[in-house]
Structure 1
Amino acid sequence: MMELNHTCPYQASWFDGFQGISSGIDGVGLGLVSHHHKLGRLFDLWCLHIPLADRTPFTDLVKLVETTVRLESQRSPNRPIYLLGESLGGCLALAVAARNPHIDLVLILGNPATSFGRSHVQLLTSLLDALPATHFPALPNILSLTAGDILRTLFDNAVKGLPLLNAAREPLGDFDTFASSFPVLADILPKETFLWKLKMLESPSAYADSRLYAIKAQTLILCSGKDQLLPSQQEGERLRQLLPNCELRKFHDSGHFLFLEGSLDLIMVIKGTSYYRRGKYHDFDSDFIPPTRDEVNKIIESYSFFNFITSSVMLSTLEDGKIVKGLAGIPTEGPVLLVGNHMLVALDKIPLSTQPYIERDIIVRGLAHPFMFSKFRRQKSGRMLKVSFFDWLRVMGIVPVTATNLFKLFSSKSHVVLFPGGVREAFHRKGEEYKLFWPERSEFVRMAARFGAKIIPFGAVGEDDLFQMLFDCDDLVKIPYLRSEIENLTNEAVQLRAGVGGEVENQQVYLPGILPKVPGRFYYYFGKPIETEGRKQERKDKDKSQELYFEVKAEVERCIAYLKEKRERDPYRSILTRSLYQATHGPTSDIPTFEI
């Protein structure tokens, strides 16, 4: 008998969502296994289980899931319901969403089978029909041991003398890659069941595809680049265009059974896309789930080469004014506001987002430009960096830079990093390295004083040790085509400082022409914390708050000057001397720097 299994591994008050897990083509929820533990920390889990011998029509499956969804919606009308489906399960989730546009649903779909009509799966069913039943159980073992020419020979032997299957050789193309996903199913499904499921895909695909117009649900499509069963990346692009509230993430090296692959972390995907929410809308503060150590390690690993060539040095200042290597000078209790300068194209964010967590277990919430968030993008022209590029920063907790978000972060006693120079500093011109482009009026002092936040000015240097800028915005706009591209990029980004006056208002977005250098090193210096607790004058008196604002700015400039001078005495400033040091002391050794 088919059933919806309800699992509740963690009885905790922070169960803030219902997770309906619809099965994939296997029907037994196999794709959920590796994600069950982590999903269970955030969601109340349900899993649709279809017994192997079950032959329930697709429309009845839709009604079964729909009944459960409606009951949960009535029980908790203010909470979203998540439907997670892979392949066939993706069609099922889409069908339920189309029939229930009034329910707040979030769909997370892995390689949905809505593209069945444009796939080669129908050719596979012909091949399996022709194989004797005795061949089917042995096929998984054969496929798992063969590759390349050996598998091709087996395939050629299988279709020899069968005109229909022989003709299918060309459309199937690289069959050894195509068949790599097949053993997963063949190991758990009898031939008759597998054939039935393949053949019945036509109905779910057509059913869901014909009702896409009715879907209002927030949808996230996860598609594989090496899916040999379905054209999933093309289908993902198609669905993104057709569904009104849809985002797409591509996994270029993954196959059809995406949820079974160890490289996929569903929770990181959900958090990185800002798809986790407890209410009707995502709140960047209350819906933030702090990253785990494992998630931070994955982010660090993805930037291992960058971290290797920059080998960041971080200095901080203790309460008595002593400068120390490391981040001991940054208070662990918030609210804390880190205020500093931007390096070119914001390269400083990578170490700044991860190092405080590694050293002090401090999560630094960055106030970031809105173009890093989907809902603030003006258009989908493809000129700006894809939003997926910033997923890791959203896992670490960045929020759009607004006064409201700063208020919320201070209210929750967070550590916040702010770059007052914003886009103008991140896209500066030649000769403007480490020059501050801050607004003339104070933007953060009175808010910090209201919450008694500690302000820590900091400086960061090192971009000029990575590359030399050959062409800046002033050079590029002289070329008509590039001038047009820069205008389009700038128009696509939300203009935050319009009307404030001064050079900071000039926020052209462009890609500079650079010449790489033998890599040097990044340096960060956090000054002595400035207390705002009890400073009521700074909160109420604009002149006093302006004085403190200029004090912070002067301290940032002092930190930059200190680092520029001190790095000249660093014997390990060059990657060559650092590599030699690690070769003799071990690859994980802590590389020294200048004498403090």
Structure 2
Amino acid sequence: MSCNALCLCPCLFPPSIFRHELTSSPSGRSKLTALFSINPSRTRTRRLAVSTHHTPTLTSRITGAMEDHDHRHRHVEDELVSFKHFIEQAKDLVRPDSSTSAPSPRWFSPLDCGPPLDNSPLLLFLPGIDGTGLGLIMHHKKLGKIFEVWCLHIPPKDRTPFTDLVKLIESTIRSEHHRSPNRPIYLVGESLGACLALSVAAFNPDIDLVLILASPATSFSRSQLQPILHLLQFIPDSPNLSLLHILSSMTGAMMDNLEKGIERLSPDLVAPSIAYLSVIADILPMETLAWKLQMISSASSYANSHLHAVKAQTLILSSGRDPLLPSHEEGPRLRWLLANCEICTFEDCGHFLFLEAAHDLVTVIKQLGVYRRSKERDFVSDYIPLSPSELKNVLDKHRWISTVMSPVILSTLEDGKIVRGFAGIPLEGPVVYVGYHMLLGFELFPLVTMFSEQKNIPLRGLAHPAMFMKLNQGWLPEHMFDDLKHAGAVPVSGKNFFKLLSTKSHFLLFPGGLREALHLKGEAYKLFWPERAEFVRMAARFGAKIVPFGTVGEDDFADVLFDYEDQMKIPFFKKYIDELSDKLAGKVRATSGGEVGNQALYLPGILPKFPGRFYHHFGKPIETEGRKEELRDKENAHELYLQVKSDVENCLAYLQEKRESDPYRSLVSRILYQAKNGFTAQVPTFDVD
């Protein structure tokens, strides 16, 4: 990824190349901004914006495994390209300063980051041992769309103590919090920067902070870097020696991923990368390296001693193959010690996680639901749709479902004609898709991804709150629902229902909820809807279209053998279900009676069968535009509610009947068809009436 603009401190460049603009800060200090262009005669220019507002006074498991040789080759090439961009920008940051005063830490804001969304939170990047502040260079453009990004630059010759760096960051966040008290401030730190973030959070529990920490140096006491501390005093300072050389000779692990397959890469990439080693020596000369390692040692002890005071929301990004720090073990340790912490592990990534081609920080933030623009996360307004690359990754990850199940999509036109495909789906929202919830909700992901892929419509879903809660009891895999949340799932509530309608969204609603998704033996395709028309009048208030739909096929490959009634007869399971349901399901329709009020949360024991096929049938859209006053009447609303329910039942009955005549209902017949016509070919189905 090319970085065309950076923000930089003016002390590194001659005064004549700046256009200055003086503004006032909330604290009464001046704020200096500048636009910078390196030698206008060059064909490639960089624009930089600078802030000297704050200067120190004295003071869920994600795997990035490569699937084939070509993929590994592209991955290595991408990493070399990102390494090249990092070095090119770092050259300017570490140029010798002509001024007599020693350079000091400064904030800079990359101009290729903006402009962000309205009311975007502030993101402060705290660098690792390199101190350049360019660790997020691969992510600037994406981050800049949803954050106001500032990066801390610590010059190689700077000798500001760790505690004074903490005070610098603390001054910044307090000033920005005073300016925008309702928006969170994100502290993204790697290694040393993670220690800075934890220390700042410990001293500022009254400020809404979100910590994202990569390879935290809180594990330094168990690091392979420890022996270097004692050796550096005997190694002379030399421009040809750097951290890279020392680690390569001592551990043999530095840049291991790049060395694999490097012989197959273009010389245009390899030769400059080797030449850039001198720049690394400029970033970390031996004297600076010794200072930084001593600082990390003390920073680790300092941060660890204050972990008990950290209350901020924290996300730990652990690397599975970190040769410098025991990051893989440190993540679980910090999760145990911190009050509000979760962990995400990248098994095939190294120490410099943010420079890895396989890592996308924005996707991780969105997928784990860490992004918010106010004190409380708004699942509707804070939602950011999947980018094309994110959609592709999600589709590739779950492609096997579509391949195995070959979903059939049917929709109904205005004249009542049923057609294959999405032609009958309304384009303009709001649209409420009301349907039957199949066993374990396995129909959701193919449906959501097909809407995005074929109609370019983000199809959101009102989901059970249990999907959004941390389950520390090992009930489900830690990141089981991440992809659904990333695709736009929203906790079911009247408030969120209102917000989705007001933003003209397309979204799924399953009135039967858990009762249908976790149905008992012999209850396939039976609706369990509440007596009251919960959604009709609200939909009419916004003139929403209601699309009834049915989905069948899932129970063709799984039989329920050990259901709720069976498990409640066993004391161990009964106690577990009661506790779990009370904690996670008790607040959903707690006042409802009958079947839907019994929203017990449990996992049915199922017996897989030979896979069948998914069939989705969307009925004729029901208009509520202009019927707001009519549907205020409870009787009229209830009548429409019963019509929607009847339409869903008709969709289910239609599919169950028609699938019997599908010549490609069985998996074997579909595989044979695709083997002959290509695995991207659409598999035929029954004749549509």
Q: Distance in 1 between matches of 2:591 and 2:438?
A: 24
Q: Find the partner of 1:512 among 572, 591, 604.
A: 604
> Is this contact kept in 1: 2:462–2:509, CA < 8 A?
yes
Q: Aligned partners of 1:444 and 1:201: how far apart in 2?
A: 57
TM-score with structure 1 length normalisation? 0.87
Contact 2:433 2:548 in 1 (8 A): yes
Displacement of 1:381: 2.4
Which stretch of structure 1 is more off in the superposition, 7-16 or 316-325? 7-16
Q: Is the 8 A contact 1:570 1:593 kept in 2?
A: yes
Aligned amino acid, residue 264 of structure 1: H
**Closer, same or farther in 2 for the Cα pair 1:525/1:136, shift >3 Å?**
farther
Q: Distance in 2 between matches of 1:536 and 1:70?
A: 48
Between the aligned partners of 1:568 and 1:177, the Cα distance in structure 2 is 59
Q: How does 1:423-502 map to 2 (within 5 A)?
A: 423-495=514-586, 496-502=588-594
Q: Which residue of structure 1 lines up, in the alignment, with residue 632 of structure 2? A: 540
Q: What's the counterpart of residue 168 of structure 1?
A: none
* Residues 535/280 of structure 1: CA separation in 2 closer, same or farther (3 Å cut): same
Q: How does 1:85-124 map to 2 (within 5 A)?
A: 85-123=189-227
Is the partner of 1:468 in helix, strand or coil?
strand
Q: Which moved more, 1:506-515 or 1:413-422?
A: 506-515
Label 1:87 to 1:535 Cα distance change in 2 as closer, same or farther (>3 A).
Answer: same
2:439/2:555 contact within 8 Å kept: no
Matched ranges for 1:399-414 at <5 A:
399-414=490-505
Whole-Å Cα distance in 2 between the matches of residues 390 and 249 of structure 1? 14
Aligned residue for 1:21, secondary structure, equals: strand
Aligned partner of 1:331 in structure 2 is 426
Q: 1:58-137 alignment to 2 at 5 Å?
A: 58-123=162-227, 125=229
Cα pair distance change 1:182/1:370, threshold 3 Å: same
**Whole-angstrom distance in 2 between the partners of 1:292 and 1:351:** 18
Deviations, residues 314-362 of structure 1 (Å, cap 9, x unaligned): 1111111111111121111111100001111111110121111111111
Moved more, 557-566 or 102-111: 102-111
Match of 2:128 in 1: 24
User: 1:275: Cα distance to partner?
Assistant: 2.0
Structure 1 residue 531: Cα displacement:
0.9
Q: Which residue of 2 aligns with 1:165?
A: none
Match of 1:275 in 2: 370
Q: CA deviation at 1:284?
A: 1.4
Partner of 1:390: 481
Name 2:407's counterpart in structure 1.
Answer: 312
Partner of 1:3: 106
What is the 5 A alignment of 1:527-566? 527-536=619-628, 539-566=631-658
| Identical counterparts, % of pairs | 55
Task: Report the Cα offset of residue 384 of structure 1.
Answer: 4.2
Verify the 8 A CA contact 1:4 1:46 in the aligned structure 2: yes
Distance 1:331 1:85, change over 3 A: same
Tell me if structure 1 keeps the 8 A contact 2:410–2:421: yes
The offset of 1:178, in angstroms, is 8.0
Question: Pick from 491, 499, 511: which aligns with 1:420?
Answer: 511
- Asked whether the equivalents of residues 15 and 44 of structure 1 are also in contact (C-alpha less than 8 Å), the reply is no
CA distance in 1, matches of 2:612, 2:290: 60
Q: Which has the higher helix share?
A: 1
SS in 2 for 1:5: strand
Q: Distance between the aligned counterparts of 1:103 and 1:141, measured in 2?
A: 41
Task: Say yes or no: does 1:571 pair with 2:674.
Answer: no
Aligned to 2:55: none
Please give the secondary structure, in 1, of the residue aligned with 2:136. helix
Q: For residues 619 and 234 of structure 2, what CA distance do their matches in structure 1 show?
A: 74
Q: Aligned-residue CA RMSD in angstroms?
A: 2.9
The answer to whether residue 390 in structure 2 is matched with residue 295 in structure 1 is yes
Distance change (3 Å), C-alpha of 1:340 and 1:128: farther
- Amino acid corresponding to residue 508 of structure 1 in structure 2: A
TM-score, length-scaled by structure 2: 0.76
Which residue is equivalent to 1:211?
A: 306
Question: Residues 479-524 of structure 1, C-alpha deviation per residue, up to 9 Å, x if partnerless?
Answer: 4433333334323322212231112222222222223222221111
Structure 1 residue 235, shift from structure 2 partner: 2.8
Work out the CA distance in 2 between the residues paired with 1:221 and 1:329.
45
Unaligned runs of 5+ in 2: 1-102, 260-272
Residues 477 and 443 of structure 1: CA distance in aligned 2, closer, same or farther (over 3 Å):
same
Within a 5 Å distance, the mapping from 1:164-179 to structure 2 comes to: none
In 2, are the aligned partners of 1:336 and 1:414 still within 8 Å (CA)?
yes
Q: How many pairs align?
A: 564
Give per-residue Cα distances to partners, 1:11-41, cap 9 Å, x unaligned. Answer: 3662622111111222223430111110011
Partner secondary structure for residue 481 of structure 2? helix
What is the deviation of 1:537?
Answer: 5.3
Which secondary structure state, in structure 2, belongs to the residue aligned with residue 19 of structure 1?
strand
After superposition, the Cα gap between the structure-2 partners of 1:368 and 1:320, relative to the gap in structure 1 and judged at 3 Å, is same
Counterpart code for 2:312? A
Amino acid paired to 2:183: R
Task: Quote how far apart the aligned CAs of 1:466 are.
Answer: 2.4
Q: Partners of 1:122 and 1:321 in 2: how far apart?
A: 74
